[in-house]
Structure 1
Amino acid sequence: MHSEVVLPYAGSEAADEKTAVIELRGARQFAMHSAEGREYRILMSVPECEAPARGYPVIYMLDGHAVFNTVLDAERAQSRRSDKTGVCPSVIVGIGYPSRLPFSPERQYDYTLPVPAGNLPASPDGRPRPEHGGADAFLRFIEEALKPRIERELPIDRGRQTLFGHSLGGLFALHVLFTRPDAFRCYIAGSPSLHWAQPLIREEEALFARRLREEKLELNLLIALGELEGGAPFHSAQNARALHERLEELREFGLNAKFRVFEEENHGSTLPALVSPMLRTAAL
């Protein structure tokens, strides 16, 4: 598992390997299918050190081809001195698609809630929104297919699992937190697209708050976005800050919710800026 393997760049399946591949030691890519027949490309890296007695911590990253290399480089560099950085060696699992695009159109279905079409924000190009509402089916794939596959191949500490998503992926991370909080220990919601799922996501939040008050769970949450993401039409910064303020009330019931704003960053540039804070939060 620690030998050199090849992860192809985006492009043709039969592309010339001299120009179309990179080599990442301890990392590989493989295909998986959901019960519904949807195809995914999974990128997985393994720490260079031996697994702890309880197994490796694991980070499941949405939009797998977007910043997998960035996350892997940051994890390897910082985990060498965990005592100084607060970052521990972890298995990184990126969930991508056959296209290997950083943000595949297929994410529009997998990361979104089944809200009525009339509640969806207007499409920027005026065209009808693509198929949406597959979040629960995607979560079943993660829980019933992907996690068991990873755990068959590697010793995993089930008590130290992180879900990392950005934009619609951040919305999905919050959906999982609110509806299946025991699925992960740590949730990273970068620039969450809260405008997409109103009022359903607020209803899920209320049910989650009620559950946590009745059944204390030890959970970590980081909500983060760029300072340039505020304003009309989506009011992302205001929505995210208001969500954090509401969730702060649940701290005594086990939710350690943090909020971070990155100066001079926008919706796209927030993603790489989030990597190191994500790794530190996952290590808590």
Structure 2
Amino acid sequence: MVSRVGIPRRTFQGETANGGVGIPNAEQRVMRSSRTNLSYRIMTAIPPGPPPSTGYPVFYVLDGNSVFATVTEAVRVQCRRPEVTGVKAALIVGIGYPTDEPFHPQRYFDYTPEKTAKYTRKPDGTMLPEQGGAAAFLDFIQEELKPVIAREYPVDLTNQTIMGHSLGGLFVLHTLFTRPEYFRTYIAGSPSIHWNREWLDEREKLFTAALDAGSLQKSPGIRALIAMGELENAHPSGNYRMAREMAVRLSKLENRGLSAQWHSFEEEGHVSVLPGLISRGLRFAFRP
């Protein structure tokens, strides 16, 4: 069932609310995946104006409950002057969960490539949810969700982006290294590399070897942006350093089909980095 995306009705003092505040041209539905056997809230937003002859570029956004509206508004406002902003009209697809909370515990399963023995409890001592379902979640996106989007909207199948933050950033890197042909642009914000560091290191080596062999080259090439808030450098996980070093290694693969960049957002932390990451990620995906 498809419904409009909006904010529930609320009455303010001295006023009468006639309805909720909605996001223009946005809808949502719940999809049950046969790959993960879990349900997802799928949010879509069509930009203003007719689609280009090739169809809309598509932005798949993880943690849709927390950032779908921000990404949608960034595109809706900036795509009106692409020659100035560098942002063009795109279809936004938020992948979230059936909850009104910004984050859902299910993300621990969907975004992590494998279970880890090191991170099993939350800061308060309670057990973390099940982990290690990234492969099945990626199958859901590629084999179940993408066909629905392509069937219902005019989209450019050669110009698709995936954006994720924190554990979502880890999942983006997992996808880049294991299934680089699935998307054209990969945006990994504050990736939780420490969660599956050894696993990710090995997949990066295999990915680089495949690029060296020429088996993964594609036109117009793969793009990857890795970014973090400057204040994250103080976190004991070491993710800031590991992400920066990874970006430097990947940037050396320019002549082998991958264009990679690193960016550090001044005076931003793990969560406050999100608005800047979104705007920069959009420009990165649309750069010439």
TM-score (ref. length: structure 2): 0.90
Could you tell me which amino acid in structure 1 is paired with residue 181 of structure 2? D
Contact 1:59 1:282 in 2 (8 A): no
Q: 1:49: Cα distance to partner?
A: 1.5
Partner of 2:75: 75
Counterpart of 2:195 in structure 1 is 196
Name the counterpart of 1:244: 247
Cα distance in structure 1, aligned partners of 2:84 and 2:120? 44
Equivalent pair of 2:226/2:261 in contact (CA under 8 Å): yes
Q: Which runs of 5+ in 2 are unaligned?
A: 10-16
Q: Which residue number corresponds to residue 5 of structure 2?
A: 7
Q: RMSD of the alignment, in Å?
A: 1.8
Report the Cα distance in structure 2 between the residues aligned to 1:130 and 1:259, rounded to whole angstroms: 31
Query: Relative to structure 1, is the Cα distance of residues 119 and 88 closer, same or farther in structure 2, using a 3 angstrom cutoff?
Result: same
After superposition, the Cα gap between the structure-2 partners of 1:133 and 1:9, relative to the gap in structure 1 and judged at 3 Å, is: farther
Partner Cα distance (1:243, 1:252) in 2? 17
The residue that corresponds to 2:154 in the other structure is: 155
Q: Does 1:175 align with 2:178?
A: no
Structure 1: state its 5+ residue gaps. 12-17
Give the corresponding residue for 2:31: 32
1:246 and 1:58 mapped to 2: Cα distance? 27
**Residues of 2 paired with 1:144 and 1:176: CA distance?**
14
Number of the residue aligned with 1:14: none
TM-score when normalising by structure 1: 0.91
Change (3 A) 1:112 1:49: same
Q: What is the deviation of 1:7?
A: 1.4
Specify the alignment match of 1:223 in structure 2: 226
Alpha carbons 1:7, 1:21 under 8 Å: kept? no
The match for 2:271 is 268
Identity %: 47
What is the CA–CA distance in structure 1 between the aligned matches of 2:42 and 2:18, rounded to whole Å?
22
Instruction: Please tell me whether the aligned partners of residues 7 and 22 of structure 2 are also in contact (alpha carbons under 8 angstroms).
Output: no
Give the Å deviation of 1:100. Answer: 3.0
Contact 1:41 1:98 in 2 (8 A): yes
Offset, 1:72: 1.1
Matched, 1:90 2:93: no
Task: Give 3-state SS (helix, strand or coil) of 1:94's partner.
Answer: strand
1:127 is displaced (CA, Å) by 2.8
